[in-house]
């Protein structure tokens, strides 16, 4: 199906956890909620005074949080608005930010709303009390990355000041600071057991920390340039990293040992991802290719070329059977069978497709188009 969603280009898309609704934000200053099953827009009263920038759905699927502002800047009015997804009514406005809001994350327990990327302070709102809880300060340079532990108790942030800070989300106090990187921290991520913190840096290293003892377990070295991306296998045993040095490396999480290097890209590796079954690594690069690798053997299985354009959004279906991707400035998305390596379906829009997502049913694909349309596609099995 295709839905004429907006009168201007889309800026953001989100899918509710139950896969029943799609939320779209646009340059036309509106935020719209769509019922995926009935293919109709729900009644909403949502209109910002400026374009809709960032949106986030709470993990319980009941609320959507939005910011508005100028392109690439997020919220110029320094507020976040919270809406009831079912009724479309604005519940309340979260105020108190001292800077534009570029991005927003919600803790897994739906209690905390957090913003702060590209700033030196972090703002925390309590979604239950509808009030700003506190502003966290402590970093001395721009914050590049943030994540929340799976139990929603701790917030971790990485900064250009070369430090990683761990904060108590209930009190706002700094629990401790991890020092060791010699250049800006680019990424932080948490292992599923909440015990390991993994960080990447422009200093070419990856560090593995024990969150309970605060000890540095390993410093993983081997990349010769900045580390851009990290991924963890579902069993938390392997780290996959991509770097400006054109390589992807596979590491043992416990020992920090480099197991092998995936070589084939001719320019910086910007993103790495793992299929849900943990068997394949997918990487995209500025060299305009997307590569699929066998995680066990380290061998390149096949490569997709963007014909002069970079391969953008890459999504794998939950069953690990299909890869959905699109190429910059291309009006189409492709569905590729990972086993046969054949494109089994494609869809072409009237203008460039800018983003796509796949629902947890593994069949529903949602694609956003620069024209403002949101397309709902169904992948039929053969």
Kindly state the average pLDDT of the residues 105-110: 86
In which band, very low, low, confident or very high, does the pLDDT at 49 lie, cut at 50, 70 and 90? low
Higher per-residue confidence, 311 vs 162: 162
State the chain's mean pLDDT as an integer: 82
Cα–Cα distances in angstroms (integers) from residue 179 to residues 185, 189, 294, 380, in the given order: 10, 16, 35, 50
CA 118/CA 102 separation, integer angstroms? 8
pLDDT of residue 75: 42
Could you report the per-residue pLDDT of 246-286, keeping only the tens digit for each? 999 999 988 889 999 999 999 999 888 888 888 999 998 88
- Residue 333 has phi, psi (to 5 degrees) of -120, 150
In which band, very low, low, confident or very high, does the pLDDT at 56 lie, cut at 50, 70 and 90? confident
Residues above pLDDT 70, as percent of the chain: 85
DSSP assignment of 116-135, as one string?
A: -TTSSEEEEEETTTTEEEEE
In the predicted structure, residue 306 carries a pLDDT above the cut 60? yes
CA 292/CA 30 separation, integer angstroms? 38
Could you report the per-residue pLDDT of 113-142, keeping only the tens digit for each? 888 777 888 888 888 887 888 888 999 999
DSSP-derived secondary structure letter, 101: B
Could you report the per-residue pLDDT of 327-379, keeping only the tens digit for each? 766 777 888 888 888 888 888 877 777 777 777 777 778 777 776 676 777 77
Could you report the per-residue pLDDT of 308-323, keeping only the tens digit for each? 677 766 778 888 888 8
Q: Please give the torsion angle defined by the CA atoms of residues 104, 107, 111 and 115, in that order, rounded to the nearest 10 degrees.
A: -20
171: left (phi over 0), alpha (psi -120 to 50) or beta: alpha
Could you report the per-residue pLDDT of 175-210, keeping only the tens digit for each? 999 999 999 999 999 988 788 999 999 999 999 999
Report whether 310 contacts 284 (CB < 8 A): yes
The neighbouring-strand residues paired with 84 are 63
Which residue is it, tokens 């354009």?
A: 309
CA 230/CA 273 separation, integer angstroms? 8
CA 95/CA 91 separation, integer angstroms? 13
In the predicted structure, residue 44 carries a pLDDT above the cut 60? no
Higher per-residue confidence, 49 vs 230: 230
DSSP-derived secondary structure letter, 39: T
Interior angle at CA 208, CA 151 and CA 134, nearest 5: 45
DSSP-derived secondary structure letter, 267: S
Q: Please give the torsion angle defined by the CA atoms of residues 219, 268, 164 and 250, in that order, rounded to the nearest 10 degrees.
A: -40
* Count of other CB atoms within 10 angstroms of residue 305: 12
In the predicted structure, residue 17 carries a pLDDT above the cut 70? yes
């Amino acid at each position: 199906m295709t839905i004429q969603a907006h009168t201007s280009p889309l800026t953001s898309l989100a899918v509710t956890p139950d896969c029943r609704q799609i939320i779209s934000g646009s340059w036309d200053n509106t935020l719209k909620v769509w019922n995926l099953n009935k293919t109709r827009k729900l009644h909403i009263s949502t209109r910002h005074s400026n374009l809709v920038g960032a949106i986030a759905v709470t993990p319980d699927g009941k609320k959507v949080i939005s910011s508005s502002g100028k392109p690439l800047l997020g919220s110029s009015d320094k507020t976040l608005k919270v809406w009831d997804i079912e009724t479309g009514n604005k519940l309340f406005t979260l105020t108190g930010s001292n800077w534009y809001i570029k991005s927003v994350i919600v803790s897994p327990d739906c209690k905390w709303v957090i913003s702060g990327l590209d700033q030196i302070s972090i703002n925390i709102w309590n979604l239950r009390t509808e009030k700003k809880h506190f502003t966290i300060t402590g970093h001395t340079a721009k914050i590049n990355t943030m994540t929340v532990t799976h139990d929603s108790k701790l917030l971790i942030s990485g900064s250009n000041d070369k430090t990683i800070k761990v904060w108590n989300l209930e009190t706002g106090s700094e629990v401790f600071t991890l020092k060791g990187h010699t250049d800006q921290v680019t990424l932080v991520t948490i292992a599923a057991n909440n015990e390991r913190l993994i960080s990447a840096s422009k200093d070419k290293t990856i560090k593995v920390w024990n969150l309970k003892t605060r000890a540095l377990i390993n410093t993983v070295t081997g990349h010769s340039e900045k580390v851009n991306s990290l991924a963890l296998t579902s069993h938390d045993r392997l780290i996959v990293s991509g770097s400006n040095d054109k390589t992807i490396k596979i590491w043992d999480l416990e020992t920090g040992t480099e197991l092998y290097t995936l070589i084939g890209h001719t320019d910086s590796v910007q993103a790495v991802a793992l299929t849900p079954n943990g068997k394949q690594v997918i990487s995209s690069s500025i060299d305009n290719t997307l590569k699929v690798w066998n995680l066990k053997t380290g061998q390149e299985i096949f490569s997709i070329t963007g014909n002069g354009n970079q391969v953008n959004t890459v999504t794998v279906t939950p069953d690990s059977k299909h890869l959905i991707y699109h190429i910059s400035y291309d009006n189409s998305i492709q569905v590729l069978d990972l086993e046969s390596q054949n494109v089994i379906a494609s869809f072409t829009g009237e203008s460039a497709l800018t983003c796509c997502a796949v629902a947890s049913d593994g069949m529903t694909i949602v694609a956003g188009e620069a024209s403002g349309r949101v397309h709902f596609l169904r992948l039929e099995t053969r």
